[in-house]
Amino acid sequence: MPRKVLANKNIHPAVQAVVADNNADIVAEVQEAIRSNKVVIVGMAQNPAPKRARKVLDQLNINYCYLEYGSYFSQWRRRNALKMWTGWPTFPMIFVNGLLIGGSSDMRALIDSGEFAKLLD
């Protein structure tokens, strides 16, 4: 089922560039990290879930790229661009070989089931 995204025909031409370019740099940075790394965790300071995910991967000796954008008190508008791009509502956002697998608990479930190792191959 495709995600709902407002069609360009429903955005006035005078503001289409604003919509297209809104925090595009943060999305491009995450896309580049995904292209360059098997595992990418996108998180934010003060949030315990990204820390848990990183701790699990450290214990399993799995290399990853960690990108951190602000905290509960800063950069929420920039992080919102990532939420709109992925459709994932929370942090962390974890990618394995370009595939969004969800957050920390989703990653843990995949590790426990053995599927995470398969995704790494």
Mean pLDDT of the residues in the chain: 96
Going along the chain from its start, the domains and CATH numbers come out as 37-120 (3.40.30.10)
The C-alpha atoms of residue 68 and residue 45 are separated, in whole angstroms, by: 7
Query: Per-residue confidence of the chain (121 residues) as pLDDT tens digits?
Result: 788 889 999 999 999 999 999 999 999 999 999 999 999 999 999 999 999 999 999 999 999 999 999 999 999 999 999 999 999 999 999 999 999 999 999 999 999 999 999 999 8
Q: What angle do CA 46, 47, 52 make, to 5 degrees?
A: 120
Retrieve residue 112's tokens. Answer: 């426990």
pLDDT value of residue 109: 98
Burial of 13 per CB tally in 10 Å (0-12, 13-18, 19+): exposed
pTM across the whole model: 0.93
100-116, pLDDT tens digit by residue? Answer: 999 999 999 999 999 99
pLDDT value of residue 81: 94
Retrieve residue 39's tokens. Answer: 């595992």
The C-alpha atoms of residue 83 and residue 74 are separated, in whole angstroms, by: 15
Which of 89, 97, 100 has its CA nearest to residue 120? 97
Helix, strand or coil for residue 37?
coil
Retrieve residue 18's tokens. Answer: 């604003």
Say which amino acid occupies 8: N
Which of 56, 44, 50 has its CA nearest to residue 108? 56
